[in-house]
Amino acid sequence: MPLFSAGLNHTTAAVPVRERIAYAADDLPRALADLRRETQIEEAVLLSTCNRTELYFRADSLDPAIDWLSRDRHMPRAELERCLYQKTDSDAVQHLLRVAAGLDSMVVGEAQILGQLKQAYSTALAHGHVGHGLHRLFACGFATAKRVRTDTRIGAHPVSVASIAADVARRIFSDFDEHTALLVGAGQMISLCARHLHTQGIGRIIIANRSPARALTLAQSIKGFGIGLADLDAHLSEADILIACTASPAPLVRLPAVRLALRRRKHRPMLMIDLGLPRDIDPAIDGLDDVFLYTLDDLSAESQNNRKARSEQALLAETIVAEETERFTRWLRTHEHRRWLQQLRERSDQIRRVALDQARERMARGDDPAEVLDDFSRALTNRLLHTPTQRLREAIDEARQPMIDDARRLFDLDDESHQ
């Protein structure tokens, strides 16, 4: 059964499209169950992050999965396919390995995607959507990522979306220690941002989260201040820098609240960086004169400098990915044909046992052993070659030369036998 991957990422779709296709973590089990029920897909893993949404699956064809994604995300198929990449077998393998190694990331070599990939795999596995094929594929992906980290220096100077966001803030506000950053969320991305900003010497950090206790825990680790989301608007005017990344289905930072905050700040400029998908900051805020709003797409342009700096190590990593892709593809081919190879052996052994039982019966009746063995060998040869000979005669009668040539190679024959 073929292996497929289909998806979109930061290079094929802008933020407005990616947020329409994205799945919340708690919606993945529902989505996978619907996908398999409606399409008869054998096994599947669904990965959805701020920069990509991808399906990895095994099925008879690719089309049913794309039709399902179109329906499930309420996007016309023609519109979806304009930003969708579709890969089969070895190409799908190579794509997963590149994703796991961080080679397909907005920030080349970043390690966060590997954790996200492992979580997507664990979710699919826990809900019974992973079979032997995808289990082996993802194990290969994780091992390849580890080999890339070990054998290259692509992760020697860790860079991530969070660190780029912090660098942008540091570049815009030169007197960093005199400014305040308000971080909305408390997940991995915001935690990384908080640590980067703290390390670079930001004057003050406020953490806002739906859970005030979780906000306080993160804030205490970087000597900051924690608040609940209910108090977010009240603290907006204190923020010179606002970075948001949550799982909220709707923006948490809204236009009226920002307008009020700017008046309170006497229109001192604010830098806002939206790392959420769906977006956490109302896009209309970008129209305000005193706000500089960065999205994930804007940070993608910033990451190009990182991509150039890591190009040499990336080439070494690509070589590793190519080797592991070839190794897994060989296993996949063998695994795909193992069933009928085993069937061939079982059928041949059944023929052998029948002929052997007949020979034993004759020996027990006292028939001449030499005659019995000669008849046994002839019967075994005839029965084993009956179907291949019949099919080959049909091919000769119908002048199917490719099949005739394949049979000659299969049975190691040459042209001299019929001259």
pLDDT in tens, 240-249: 999 999 989 9
Distances (CA, A) of 11 to 17, 52, 103, 226, 305: 12, 9, 13, 35, 16
Query: Over 70: is that where the pLDDT of 308 sits?
Result: no
Residues 85 and 227 in one domain: no
Residue type, 327: R
Clarify whether 50 is annotated catalytic.
Answer: yes
Residues 259 and 118 in one domain: no
Residues 71 and 202 in one domain: no
CATH of the domain at 170: 3.40.50.720
Rounded Cα distance, 410 and 37, in Å = 41
Whether residue 359 contacts residue 376, with contact meaning beta carbons closer than 8 Å, is answered with yes
Residues 367 and 324 in one domain: no
Annotated binding site: which residue ranges?
Answer: 49-52, 105, 110-112, 116, 185-190
Residue 100's domain comprises 3-158+309-333
Q: What domain count does the chain have? A: 3
Residue 27 lies in a domain: yes
Of residues 50, 140, 193, 245, which has the active-site annotation? Answer: 50
pLDDT in tens, 34-59: 999 999 899 999 999 999 999 999 99
pTM, full prediction: 0.77
Number of C-alpha atoms within 13 angstroms, CB side, residue 23?
A: 23
Residues 148 and 166 in one domain: no
pLDDT in tens, 180-223: 999 999 999 999 999 999 999 999 999 999 999 999 999 999 99
Instruction: Provide the pLDDT for residue 309.
Output: 60
Rounded Cα distance, 191 and 200, in Å = 14
